[in-house]
Structure 1
């Protein structure tokens, strides 16, 4: 697997208001996405995954660390960002919010071409992107407006708008969360087909581990600004090592394990606890199963997981063979 997009030591800190402590939304992340690979970034709301995605896209400048694409470090001058965003495209959760209701489907898809000064046949490029996104014949959709389309069709238009520039990677933030269950499978199948046909890489941001199972090659589980477990989708979702991942999986309908109800809410990112950042909610620690490593859980900070594709968990208990 050759690396395409990588983050090294990435931190994003938002200053607090009126003297409040700064919020460490992303607090040290190494991550790598290979060419032709789909990585699912999963975790609860507020864990920092959307901020991490925005930093990887160059929409948020990291406080520390670096983003690299194709082996070259991302620059933040306007010309460098414009070129980068041609190669890395964003697909948002809500297609209705992503599409201007006054623009036709043709104009919505052509917008990227116009921004980047495309000099080829615009009509042919728009038609090809719509067809690849599953809207056929594409000409039938050119003059339609978003309100005339179904939710699944609108999401396909958004995907076509991302594809029209021929990107190498897409970042999909909850790409099927607003869709009916019957349509979700179609959109996931489309993303897999695009990977197979175009060699397209993808980072899929989601809270849904079931979605990760259906689409991802590799999973990165995020909690309170850090990736706490990563590895192949099979290893992470069938034999999770981190108690947080175990808890997330236990509440899925198909789980054979008793559900683990996490106590409380994730801590405030401006007040990250010492030791393992999950220890205050950890069911292993609360039930006494952590044994001899309990003190380490409460007081010893864990290192940042590497961005490599190997199976890893940031957990004292798992490291001790728990």
Structure 2
């Protein structure tokens, strides 16, 4: 991997509990790096903290602890610094219909970012910037879409408009939260291909937040698997998805049709983030521990917490006592 464009170290985010209950530890000590021109997939089931982590990396949520750096500089939380940062790092949400104002034309939706960030351009220069962003997002000829409204577009076209709205500011990083979850299967591949093309042509970095390991396989250079506020396995996507070490990653992979494995049904629901169990936070649902295959480290799984896993570079790792002991 080249230099780290975005890095997080020891990031923790907690939300106040209700009626005197303990705070909810949504992100509970995460180290993560995204290199220049790299696509990283952040994978996990609903409620694991991946969207909170993504919002924190963008400066939308201030961490209770830890640091976030962009291009080697720690993120500052003044209004001026955050505004400058958000021009360089843009968010793409999963629901394009909710992201677009139904009363704004496509032109207005894409030009809005330029106006918010005070990018003063003449009318002709603004029009050229909007047209260029729409063209890069795959809407050609772009002028044909200028006066259309969101309801006049297909789901895939609306998502391209949202991506164009990010691209018009010429960011270095895009954080895409479930970017194809609301799209038909026929359109999903087109949007994923677009993200790959933007990486190749513009050197754009991306953090793709998803629950779908199949999507990670198709688009990512590296994957970080998240469970209950922590990254539990990370490494190059092909290495992790062909030979997963953590039982949680194995369970997620087992439900993919192409895996050929017997689907693993995890017991119960993820624990309450306000009451994270001791030891390995996955041990109460771990299929390997339940089967007796991890008998040699069972006590450690239930009592010894695991250190924070560094998710960066070409190294791979798994926060698992059984994997560390050579479990297969």
Question: What residue in structure 2 maps to residue 30 of structure 1?
Answer: 31
Question: What residue in structure 1 maps to residue 185 of structure 2?
Answer: 181
**Contact 2:226–2:232 at 8 Å: present in 1 too?**
yes
Question: What residue in structure 1 maps to residue 317 of structure 2?
Answer: 312
Segments of 4+ moved more than 3 angstroms = none
Question: What residue in structure 2 maps to residue 265 of structure 1?
Answer: 269
**Contact 2:307–2:319 at 8 Å: present in 1 too?**
yes
Question: What residue in structure 2 maps to residue 300 of structure 1?
Answer: 304
1:216-231 matched pairs, under 5 angstroms? 216-231=220-235
Question: What residue in structure 2 maps to residue 5 of structure 1?
Answer: 6
1:121-200 matched pairs, under 5 angstroms? 121-200=125-204
Q: 1:285 aligns with which of 283, 289, 307?
A: 289
Q: Could you say what secondary structure the match of 1:117 adopts?
A: coil
Q: Distance in 2 between matches of 1:190 and 1:308?
A: 24
Q: Could you say what secondary structure the match of 1:136 adopts?
A: coil
Q: Could you say what secondary structure the match of 1:254 adopts?
A: helix
Q: Could you say what secondary structure the match of 1:17 adopts?
A: coil
Q: Distance in 1 between matches of 2:184 and 2:236?
A: 28
Aligned residues: 322
Q: Could you say what secondary structure the match of 1:231 adopts?
A: strand
Moved more, 215-224 or 117-126: 117-126
Q: Could you say what secondary structure the match of 2:258 adopts?
A: coil
**Contact 1:9–1:66 at 8 Å: present in 2 too?**
yes
Shift in Å, 1:258:
1.1
Shift in Å, 1:255:
1.3
Q: Distance in 2 between matches of 1:278 and 1:59?
A: 28
Alpha-carbon RMSD: 0.5
Q: Distance in 2 between matches of 1:311 and 1:88?
A: 26
Shift in Å, 1:25:
0.1
CA deviations 1:230-252 (Å, max 9, x no partner) are 00001110000000000000111
**Contact 1:6–1:307 at 8 Å: present in 2 too?**
no
Q: Distance in 2 between matches of 1:64 and 1:119?
A: 37
Question: What residue in structure 1 maps to residue 81 of structure 2?
Answer: 80
Q: Give unmatched runs, 5+ long, in structure 2.
A: none
Moved more, 15-24 or 45-54: 15-24
Question: What residue in structure 2 maps to residue 63 of structure 1?
Answer: 64
Q: Could you say what secondary structure the match of 1:185 adopts?
A: helix
Normalized against structure 1, the TM-score is what? 0.99
